[in-house]
A and B are shown apart, each in its own frame.
Chain A
Amino acid sequence: MTHTTALVATRRARRVQATAHTSVGDRPRRGWAIAVTIAMVVAAIYFLAPVLWLVIASTKSAGDLFSTPGFAFANFEFFANLKELSTYDGGIFWRWGLNSVIYSVIGAAMTTFVCAVTGYALAVYRFRGRGTVIAIVLASMLIPGTVIAQPTYVLLVRLGLDNTYWGILLPALAYPFGVLLCWIYAQGSVPLELVEAARLDGAGEFRIFFSMGLRLMSNGLVTVMLFAFLGSWNSYLLPLLVLTDQELMPLTVGLTGWSQASITIPSLQTLTIVGSLVSIVPIAVAFISLQRFWKSGLTAGGLRG
């Protein structure tokens, strides 16, 4: 009996030890938590302060803009500024916004489709030249975009596509990184048994892709589309070169143009600031609503060793 008691005692002691271990571990945890929170708050201040400045600056009129302290409000002119933003030059700002949406949303959708089709084929089929394509895709990711910007422009002029929507949408379709991602996702999420089974059922290859393949890859496709969207949204150099018509410009080119013109037309400085603020809003909204996606989309396979 002493033996059992001894055993129980030892076990109890071990349990106590284990709890003691965790409670000792809790204290550093709490200390950690405080330190981490402070670090995050500092980081958040660093990242948000300029945006805050932008918000406050957007509420000021042109006269107050540089004569009042940056983080203090002056006369609240935000709605007047918004009105000016919307009506200047016939509402060109909202046209730019629409263009950005077209280039980024429709562009990303088209680009994602091209990448999906290609990635799927690389994963599912074996064909001659498959290795070459993969190698080329990987190698081309290392080419800096600015090397090809100027010649792309010349090419687009030859094709008669300069200063058109297609002139911006078509070059964006060549997105090797997207192909890579789609290839990885297809490998991970499209089981070949299913493809085989569908084939045996008599379904055509395209039917298999559209009804089955796309759906299986959908999480990964959202990720690719997100990357493509962000790339297009931030794109500046190519639209700058290719577009001369104000009506076709995205927000990046339009706002920068205003900023430069503000040398001779000072009121444009306020509009540039308000416009910049407004252009951030859609992305902020998109990010918030899609925050759940990173966890599922980006994890499907590719990004861990």
Chain B
Amino acid sequence: MSTTLVRTTARRRFSGSGRWWVPYVFIAPFIVVFVVFMVAPIVIAIVNSLFATQTSGLGFGGSETLFVGFGNYLRAFADGDFLMSFGRVALYGIVQVPVMMIIAATLALLFDSAVLKLKRFFQFAVFLPYAIPGVIAALLWGFLYQPSVSPFLQFFSSLGIDADMLAPGTVLWSIANISIWSNVGINMIILFAALQALPREAYEAARIDGAGEIRIAMSIKIPMIAPAVLLTTLSTVIGTLQLFNEPQVLQTITANVSSDYTPNMAIYAASTLGGDTNLGSAMAVILGIATLVVSLILVRFTNRTPKESAS
């Protein structure tokens, strides 16, 4: 494309024009805040995780900070409840991420098809939950999960169904429900916008050939918006691993959510309730690395598949 040619020429020409410092001035603000507010805290967290606050005897003689290497990490891995919290969010993610993405994608495809009336209203309805900050949404659903307050549960019990949304086996999925309810909107919008940008010709041909709508959606539309799909899936996965707000709120109304139900809650419990920010930092680093690994796997996986399906 002609732009690429001009681009390289312009760039080559630019680097010799003498005002070499201009790009650096441009990127300076971002670099500064990035180093200060993203790099430094990560480094602090890592450094913190290598130390521990020790006191001795009865403790009234004050405390000191010692280097303990991987001691905090060993403690974290030895904590069965902490490991179980990872298992829990993994189980949660395996179910919640596909369900969320399928719902968001289906809705986006439905909106993209010409078939729907009142598109604006329905889009508004789907998006509205996202406008409610996560903590407030959790509070709201907290009310709706309590039989004495919730009109839904009262309706179900009048039909003879006694649904306990907060039982040990169901509370995880009640949390998933809150998360899906809150976040389908934003994911749907992103996918929808990407679909709208697709050139109609791409699938008109297939349509005339007689391909069904579903076939068109699966084989043409979705692969063509792969970056948007990756983006939304990735942010959903990261959000899942960092699950905190919803279980934290539900913890106050049910005994079935422990203080370390998710990794993030365990970190919070260790740092604030237990007062051990060093252990908390180690746990946070473990969580960060786990998130990074899962994300990279996901990116690798999606990068490979479109090439395969296009052939």
A–B: direct contact at CB < 8 Å: yes
Cross-chain contact of B38 among A174, A256, A303 (Cβ < 8 A): A174
Instruction: Kindly report which residue of chain B lies nearest to residue A125, judged by CB atoms.
Output: B23
Instruction: Kindly report which residue of chain B lies nearest to residue A150, judged by CB atoms.
Output: B271
Given the interface pairs A47-B129, A127-B23, A151-B45, the reply to whether A174 lies near B136 with Cβ below 8 Å is no
B224 to chain A, nearest CB (A): 5
Most buried by A among B29, B181, B213, B287: B29
**Cβ < 8 Å to B, chain A residues 1-46:** 29, 32-33, 36-37, 39-40, 43-44, 46
A237 to chain B, nearest CB (A): 8
A203 CB contacts on chain B under 8 angstroms: none
A288 located at the interface, meaning its Cβ lies under 8 Å from any Cβ of chain B in the complex: yes
A272 CB contacts on chain B under 8 angstroms: 139
> Are B29's CB and A114's CB within 8 A?
yes
B272 to chain A, nearest CB (A): 9
B148 CB contacts on chain A under 8 angstroms: 66
Q: Name the prevailing secondary structure of the A interface residues.
A: helix
A234 CB contacts on chain B under 8 angstroms: 133-134
> Are B135's CB and A252's CB within 8 A?
yes
**Cβ < 8 Å to B, chain A residues 283-301:** 283-284, 287-288, 291, 294-295, 297-299
Cross-chain contact of A125 among B22, B123, B186, B244 (Cβ < 8 A): B22
A181-B231 Cα distance, complex, nearest whole Å? 12
Binds A, one of B3-11, B79-87, B161-169: B3-11
> Are B192's CB and A294's CB within 8 A?
yes
A-B contacts, 6 of them at CB < 8 A, read A127-B15, A133-B31, A143-B291, A192-B11, A236-B245, A299-B193
A165 located at the interface, meaning its Cβ lies under 8 Å from any Cβ of chain B in the complex: no
Q: Name the prevailing secondary structure of the B interface residues.
A: helix
A128 to chain B, nearest CB (A): 9
> Are B238's CB and A205's CB within 8 A?
no
Cross-chain contact of B242 among A145, A288, A291, A298 (Cβ < 8 A): A145
State how many residues of chain A have any CB contact under 8 Å with chain B.
Answer: 92
Interface string of A209-222 (1 = CB under 8 A from B): 10000000000000
Instruction: Kindly report which residue of chain B lies nearest to residue A66, judged by CB atoms.
Output: B149
Given the interface pairs A287-B131, A298-B190, the reply to whether A148 lies near B31 with Cβ below 8 Å is no
> Are B26's CB and A140's CB within 8 A?
no
A144-B244 Cα distance, complex, nearest whole Å? 12
A115-B132 Cα distance, complex, nearest whole Å? 26
Per CB-CB distance, the 9 closest pairs between chain A and chain B, nearest first, are A70-B151, A299-B197, A298-B193, A283-B131, A121-B26, A151-B41, A148-B41, A151-B44, A126-B11
A154-B125 Cα distance, complex, nearest whole Å? 40
> Are A37's CB and B7's CB within 8 A?
no
> Are B124's CB and A287's CB within 8 A?
yes
Cross-chain contact of B6 among A118, A130, A192, A199 (Cβ < 8 A): A192
B280 located at the interface, meaning its Cβ lies under 8 Å from any Cβ of chain A in the complex: yes
A71 to chain B, nearest CB (A): 5
> Are A174's CB and B33's CB within 8 A?
yes
Cross-chain contact of A154 among B44, B197, B292 (Cβ < 8 A): B44
A288 CB contacts on chain B under 8 angstroms: 120, 124
A236 CB contacts on chain B under 8 angstroms: 133-135, 245
Cross-chain contact of B30 among A48, A124, A179 (Cβ < 8 A): A179
A135 located at the interface, meaning its Cβ lies under 8 Å from any Cβ of chain B in the complex: no
Binds A, one of B68-76, B94-102, B111-119: B111-119
Contacts A32-B213, A66-B148 known; 10 new A-B pairs at CB < 8 A? A36-B113, A44-B126, A71-B151, A125-B22, A127-B24, A171-B33, A174-B37, A196-B10, A236-B245, A295-B193
